[in-house]
Amino acid sequence: MPRRQEWELTLSISVFEAARPVFTGLIVAAMVVVGAFVGHWAHGAWLNDHTPVQPIEFSHEVHAGENEIPCQYCHAWADRSASAGVPSVETCVGCHKGLAEVRDRPEIEKLFGYWERGEGIPWVKVHDTPDFVHFRHKPHIRAGVECQTCHGPVEAMARVTRRVDINEDLRMPWCIDCHTEEQVANGRDCLTCHY
Amino acid sequence: MVSRRDIFKYAAGGGVGVGVGLLLGEVNQRPLETLLSTHIPPEDFSPGIDTWYNTLCRMCPAGCGISVKVREGRAKKIEGNASHPVSRGGACALGQASLNALYNPDRLRSPMRADGEGGFIPASWDEAFDELSARLGALQAAGMGRRVWVLTGGALGSGEEALSRFSEALGANLLRLALDTTANEQAAAKAIYGFEGLPHYDIASADLVVSFGADFLGSWRSPIAYAKAYGEFRQGANGRRGHLAQIEPRMSLTGANADEWLPARPGTEGALALALAAEMLRRGRGGEDVANWGGLSGAMSLAGAAEQADIPLARVEALAERLAAAETPLVLGGGAAGAGTRGAAALSAVAALNRVLGAPGGTVRPNLGHAASYASVPDIEAFASQAASGNVSLVLLAGVDPAHDLPDSLGIRRALERAELVVSLDSFINDSASQADWVLATDSFLETWGDDISSPGAGSLTVTLQQPVQERLFDTLSITDIVLRLAARLGGAVAQALPHADAQAFTRAEWARVWQSLGLNGDFNERFRLAQQNGVWDAPLAEGMADTISPEVPPPPAAPGSEFAGGESEYPFVLHPFVTQGFREGQGANLPWIQELPDPLTSVVYGSWAEVNPATAEQLGLGMGDLVEIESPAGKLSVPVVVHPGVRPDVIAMPLGHGHRGNGRYAKGRGANAASLLAAQSDSATGALAWAATRVALKALGKRGRLTRTGGLSRTLGRQILGPGGEH
């Protein structure tokens, strides 16, 4: 027994104490790495612009929610094309020129500004897939997938956000899970989306 | 034992880490993209869905029908129009790259006026029309319309008609400029076949094609149509594989595809063709129609012609054997073979060989289009001398760049300097436009109306409609629009000749006029709508409309050798300028896709070069990429060398279309302009520009040039791709 104690004592004095600055350095380095992960996660969770500010503070809550305008009234190509499309300024003005009660609101003034200058509105993209993914709206809409499945409850959003917990930011496993569950033809084939 | 101090250190490390993480997150964040909505969408606008429009390609005079893929109101891709009888679904590199002209960063976005210091400043159309119509009006009122010169290119159809009417009503001169020998081909067809215009060659039904200098697969006349026909000729549409012999001093794309390549000495092609014709007559191939030719006693013997052309007699005899045995032979003549000082005579000799072989009416047929008649060298010199004596008040450059495309020796660049006012109608500040006082920004052909009659066509009357496939990107007008607006401002006889509002109205009115002149029945509006849909009007022919082949013509003239500018001792090599499909005479140089497309024979990209035979290179101590100075009696330039076995030892070959002074960032200063070496030689019969009749000297500069090639090995590395015995 005394012998073992002696051994421990020798170790603690000669090895641990000598290596002490190294251990501290390693722990600090590990803290930096852990901190970096935490920081990156925190950025994604709170600081990332999931909810971009648009050139006009257009509210889907008012249009799709309160007034119950169907999605495809404005995003008219969703069942016909790869892209759902954004409405032309003409579409917006088509309704709004008959809505005198909101005509003098600042955001509506902005809309008529674009209309009178003959310009398009540079909306900021909220949902986007990388260039190597070819997402097409048409087959999804025709298969009866609700817009909200991917886009979340847009009708309840004053400003559209892609921070919707269910779709994990439109990542591939989420697509594949749905394709598998619904037994989509060629739904697990790489070339269905990556071509 | 962990001390208090250590805890602080760990915490600091963690803090730094979080900061780094936040920064990384910020840096890696996907950049925000905008989704620009339309203001008022075009009628056919569906985002993500293609709309295809059939229209006409105007990058060269072949008149191919194309289909353009349009998405979100923008042209995206060009393919051949499958229902068009000329292109039959094919589109060449230059046609496909015309999108590069539409979206070119150097394309003019509004009219520009010279600032007097070599630069240009944007101006409005009103300013441009005010000044132009004031000048033209004053000249017209003073009865000095002759002091106005309209220079245009080779395009036909309504646009050309508007320009001719405008010049005529104004009393102005109209010059059609191109590095072209159509006049020689027309003279040969008139003399030997007895019809006007260019012949239609039916390559598909031939069993033997002998081509004297015509690079019909690469650049000659209508390469897309000929390439389609060549496919049928080769793959045995009539149960046999056709045989192709190519006679030219430098191997073209067609020569590379041929079964035999006979590098005849430049300028001797006519004598060789005539000797072969006489040989065929001796072998009894001639019919009744050539009975009055007296056996072509003036022609050389095969042996004499073979010696003059520097081809082994055995090869010429073997070719004669094939010709005599062929059932449906076809002989083509063009390119440099028809561009010597005896070009018309050489092409007449080629036509005579066809006539002896019985090709007219079979593989050679009258064409139903009308070819442009280009200005002869005397015409151009008349313009230059008028300018030199101060008699040219206004030059209107309608989509041509003669300061680059034509030899300096013709004096066009000097004439433009002397003219009082030069107005260029173009999309770029090209070499000629840089000398102009005004450059009026023109549409891309994809943004406006027009039409063309394909010549050579497809054996029927092929009229192709050009229609806009998208809205104008910038504040531009088409040449026809500009002419019509000028006419309206000028009033009087000019306005009477051109009372139409714009290019669309004019094109439609022209179609209606032709419709009536052909005496066609039916609903014109419906026909026009169909043409908009199909892109083409493959017109039915009225009785007696087609030209016919004369039953009997006088024998062809002798075909003496071409004469070259420059003495043989001082200038030991013949310069062989050649046209490539992408660059043509310079039209493709400002298109990056064309610049980066490797030349099919040398694989050179982004630059020009001179092809030198290995024996000549060894003699002069030249290696691949060495810089040489090439000097002719008319000028000199320096260019890197490509040592290439496909060119005769006494010939230096250079591609045309490179070496611009202006014309945008992709063209400017890239390569050297072979046209600047050409002497002002002309054909002795027609006066057409003899662009293949100049000798040059070669001097090594002792340094390397910039030569970029995508390939480089001429060996097969044991892959056995040349078949047995072809390995090296």
A12 in contact with B, Cβ within 8 Å: no
- Grade residue B24 by pLDDT with cuts at 50, 70 and 90: confident
Which residues in chain A are contacts of B7 at CB distance < 8 A?
Answer: none
**Which among B467, B463, B423, B429 has a CA at the least distance from the CA of B445?**
B467
**Do B191 and B317 belong to one domain?**
yes
Q: What is the pLDDT of residue B136?
A: 94
Do the strands B120-122 and B112-114 form a parallel or antiparallel pair, or are they unpaired? antiparallel
pLDDT above 70 covers a percentage of chain B that reads 96
Residues of B in contact with A136 (CB under 8 A): 48
**Whether residue B291 is found in the same domain as residue B353:** yes
**A124 chain-B contacts, CB cut-off 8 A:** 32-35
pLDDT score of B370? 64
Alpha helices in B31-157 (DSSP H): 93-96, 98-102, 125-141
Same domain, B166 and B195: no
**Are both B293 and B351 inside the same structural domain?**
yes
Cβ(B145)–Cβ(B135) below 8 Å: no
Query: In the structure, what pLDDT confidence band is assigned to residue B671 with cuts at 50, 70 and 90?
Result: very high
Neighbours of B722 (CB within 10 A): 10
pLDDT of B725 higher than 90: no
Provide the terminal-to-terminal Cα distance of chain B, rounded to the nearest Å.
78
Q: How many interface pairs between A and B have CB atoms less than 8 angstroms apart?
A: 139
Most A CBs within 10 Å, among B24, B39, B45, B46, to test the A interface: B39
Say if residue B592 is exposed, middle or buried (CB neighbours under 10 Å; 0-12, 13-18, 19+). Answer: middle
A47/B22 CB distance under 8 A: yes
B724 within domain boundaries: no
Average pLDDT for B291-314: 91
Kindly list the residues from chain B whose CB atom is less than 8 angstroms away from the CB atom of residue A90. Answer: 38-41
- pLDDT of B518 higher than 80: no
Alpha helices in B171-234, H assignment, sequence order: 182-188, 223-234
Q: Please give the tally of structural domains in chain B.
A: 4
Whole-number pLDDT of residue A6 = 54
Residues β-bridged to residue B53: B68
Closest CA to A158 of A47, A46, A89, A63: A63
Please say whether the beta carbons of B709 and B602 come within 8 A: yes
Q: Is B18 contained in some domain?
A: no
| pLDDT number for residue B118 | 86
Residue pLDDT, tens place only, B244-278? 999 999 999 999 999 999 999 999 999 999 999 99
Answer with the residue of higher pLDDT: B604 or B41: B604
- Is residue B190 a part of any domain in this protein? yes
For B219-230, the pLDDT digits (tens) are 998 999 999 999
pLDDT at B409: 94
Query: What is the per-residue pLDDT for B728?
Result: 45
Task: Provide the pLDDT confidence category of residue B571 given band limits of 50, 70 and 90.
Answer: very high
Task: State the pLDDT at residue A40.
Answer: 85
Determine if the peptide bond prior to B456 is cis (ω within 30°).
Answer: yes
Phi and psi at residue B441, to the nearest 5°: -65, 125
Over 90: is that where the pLDDT of B692 sits? yes
Average per-residue pLDDT in chain B?
Answer: 91
Cβ–Cβ under 8 Å, residues B25 and A49? no
Q: If you compute the radius of gyration of chain A from its CA atoms, what whole number of angstroms results?
A: 28
> In the predicted model, what is the mean pLDDT of residues B408-414?
93
Q: What whole-number distance in Å separates Cα of residue B467 and Cα of residue B532?
A: 7
What is the dihedral angle through the alpha carbons of B484, B489, B490, B494, rounded to the nearest 10 degrees? Answer: 30
Residues 43..72 of A with a Cβ closer than 8 Å to B: which?
Answer: 43-44, 47-49, 52
pLDDT tens-digit map of B480-498: 999 999 999 999 999 999 9
Q: Is A62 helix (H, G, I), strand (E, B) or coil?
A: helix
As given in the structure block, the two tokens for residue B139 are 């000249």
Kindly report the backbone phi and psi dihedral angles of residue B355, in degrees, each rounded to the nearest multiple of 5, phi listed first.
-65, -45
Q: Which pLDDT value is given to residue B116?
A: 87
- Find out whether B470 and B56 touch, Cβ atoms under 8 Å: no
The segments of chain A whose pLDDT lies below 50 read 1
Asked whether the beta carbons of B197 and B367 are under 8 A apart, the reply is yes
Q: What is the pLDDT of residues A38-59, one digit of tens each?
A: 888 888 777 777 788 899 999 9
The phi-psi region of residue A187 (left if phi > 0; otherwise alpha if psi is between -120 and 50; otherwise beta) is: alpha
Q: How far apart are CA B266 and CA B311, in angstroms?
A: 12
- For the question of whether the overall pTM of this predicted structure is more than 0.90, the answer is no
Question: Which residues in chain A touch residue B46, judged by CB atoms under 8 angstroms apart?
Answer: 77, 80-81, 85
Mean pLDDT for B557-581 is 92
Q: Does B27 touch chain A (CB under 8 A)?
A: no
Residue that terminates a domain, selected from B365, B400, B424: B365
Q: What is the CATH number of the domain that holds B225?
A: 3.40.228.10
- Residues B167 and B186 both lie in one domain: no
Domain of residue B65: give its range: 51-102
Residues 90-109 of A with CB under 8 A from B: 90
- Is residue B549 included in any domain, yes or no? no
Structure tokens at A88: 């032309």
For residue B680, being part of any structural domain is answered with: yes
Pair (B134, B223) in one structural domain: no
Altogether, the residues listed in chain B come to a count of 728
Please tell me whether residues B273 and B231 are part of one structural domain.
yes
Residue B558 within any structural domain of the chain? no
pLDDT digits (tens, 9 = 90+) for B326-339: 999 999 999 999 99
* Residue among A28, A42, A115 minimizing CB distance to B9: A28
Residue contact B9–A38, C-beta within 8 A? no
Same domain, B186 and B333: yes
Burial class (CB in 10 A: 0-12, 13-18, 19+), A70: exposed
Q: Is A135 on the interface with B (CB under 8 A)?
A: no
* DSSP code per residue over B265-323: PTT-HHHHHHHHHHHHHHTT---GGGGGGGGGTTSPPHHHHHHHHT--HHHHHHHHHHH
d(CA B20, CA B104): 42
Nearest CA in chain A to B42: A88
Q: Does B20 touch chain A (CB under 8 A)?
A: yes
Q: Please give the pLDDT value at position B544.
A: 52
* DSSP-based three-state secondary structure for B722: coil
Same domain? B590 vs B690: yes
pLDDT tens digit string along B523-535? 889 888 999 999 9
pLDDT number for residue A1: 47
What secondary structure, in 3-state letters, does B4-47 show?
HHHHHHHHHHHHHHHHHHHHHHHHHCCCCCEEECCCCCCCCCCC
The residue of B28, B34, B37, B40 whose CB has the most chain A CBs within 10 angstroms, and thus the best one to mutate to test that interface, is B37
Tell me whether residue B463 is in a domain.
no
What is the CATH number for B74? 2.20.25.90
Reported ipTM = 0.77
Confidence grade of residue B593 (pLDDT, cut at 50, 70, 90): very high
Dihedral over alpha carbons A131, A137, A139, A143 (to 10 degrees): 130
In angstroms, the CA B275 to CA B288 distance is 20
Q: Are A39 and B20 an interchain contact pair (Cβ–Cβ within 8 Å)?
A: yes
For residue B389, the domain's CATH number is: 3.40.50.740
B698: domain CATH number is 2.40.40.20
Q: What CA–CA distance (Å, rounded) separates B53 from B79?
A: 10
Tell me: do B173 and B186 sit in the same domain.
Answer: no
**pLDDT-derived band of residue B727, with 50, 70 and 90 as boundaries?**
very low
Q: Which residues contact B268 (CB under 8 A, 6 or more apart)?
A: B305, B308, B309, B310, B561, B562
Residues 6+ apart with CB under 8 A from B438: B111, B112, B113, B114, B123, B128, B131, B132, B421, B422, B423, B424
B143 in the same domain as B259: no
Q: pLDDT at position B215, please?
A: 96
The answer to whether residue B465 sits within a structural domain is: no
Tell me the C-alpha distance between B514 and B504, whole Å: 16
Mean pLDDT of all residues in B166-189: 92
Q: Are B349 and B559 contacting, i.e. CB atoms less than 8 angstroms apart? A: yes
Of the residues A32, A74, A80, A123, the best mutation for testing chain B's interface (the one with the most B CB atoms within 10 Å of its CB) is: A32
Q: How does pLDDT run across B97-125, given as a tens digit for each residue?
A: 999 999 999 999 999 999 988 899 999 99
Do the beta carbons of residue B218 and residue B338 sit within 8 Å? no
pLDDT per residue as tens digits for the range B36-90: 888 888 777 888 889 999 999 999 888 899 999 998 889 999 999 999 989 999 9
Identify the weakest region by mean pLDDT among A6-10, B134-138, B365-369, B521-525: A6-10
Nearest to B25 among A24, A32, A40 (CB): A40
Domain match, B355 and B264 both: yes
